[in-house]
């Protein structure tokens, strides 16, 4: 299992990537409505070792996006992905289809998802790339 220092480094790296993507998307006024209206509570499992998943959560509400460590008890979606695959997804190297149909280094799909305690929430899942994936240059 990852030691605490490595987990902290991974968390801050992942948090920085998510914050940078959202800041970059805010530069384009066309994204303002989507970013401001998206409301979701998402548990994100970073699959870092074959038998270890580090959990973080993303809360999006009123245009604010907050990433913290740990799992939420009440959530809309649960995603699990290798951190490297997730970063390739956010920078558009990997498409949504590639993430959902191909396997990661552990033999699981690159992106696993489940509904949350509030339901299946496929709408929130389908809108997620509009929030977390960089725009085309």
Structure tokens at 17: 């990537």
pLDDT band of 66, cuts 50, 70, 90: very high
Domain membership of residue 104 (yes or no) is yes
Specify if 52 maps to a domain. Answer: yes
Q: What is the pLDDT of residues 69-109, one digit of tens each?
A: 999 999 999 999 999 999 999 999 999 899 999 999 999 99
Residue 96 domain flag: yes
CA–CA separation, 55 and 66 (whole Å): 14
Residue 62 lies in a domain: yes
Q: Is residue 137 part of a domain?
A: no
Query: From residue 116, how far is each of 18, 54, 58, 74, 110 by CA, in Å?
Result: 21, 18, 13, 8, 19
* Tens digit of each residue's pLDDT (9 = 90 or more) over 13-61: 999 999 999 999 999 999 999 999 999 999 999 999 999 999 999 999 9
Number of domains in the chain: 1
- Range of the structural domain that residue 90 is part of: 4-132
137: confidence class by pLDDT, cuts 50, 70, 90: low
> pLDDT at position 136, please?
76
Segment 100-123, tens digit of pLDDT: 999 999 999 999 999 999 999 989
pLDDT of amino acid 29: 94
Handedness of CA 103, 60, 18, 51 (dihedral sign): negative
pTM for the whole thing?
Answer: 0.94
């Amino acid at each position: 299992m990852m030691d605490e220092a490595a987990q902290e480094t991974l968390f801050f790296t992942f948090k920085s990537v998510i914050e940078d993507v959202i800041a970059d998307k805010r530069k384009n006024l066309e994204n303002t409505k989507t970013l401001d209206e998206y409301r979701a509570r998402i548990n994100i499992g970073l699959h870092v070792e074959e038998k270890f998943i580090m959990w973080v959560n993303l809360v999006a509400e009123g245009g604010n996006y907050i990433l913290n460590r740990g799992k939420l008890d009440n959530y809309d979606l649960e995603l699990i992905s290798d951190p490297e695959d997730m970063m390739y997804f956010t920078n558009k190297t990997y498409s949504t289809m590639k993430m959902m149909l191909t396997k990661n280094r552990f033999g699981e799909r690159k992106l696993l998802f489940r509904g949350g305690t509030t339901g299946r929430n496929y709408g929130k899942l389908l809108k997620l790339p509009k929030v977390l994936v960089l725009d085309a240059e």
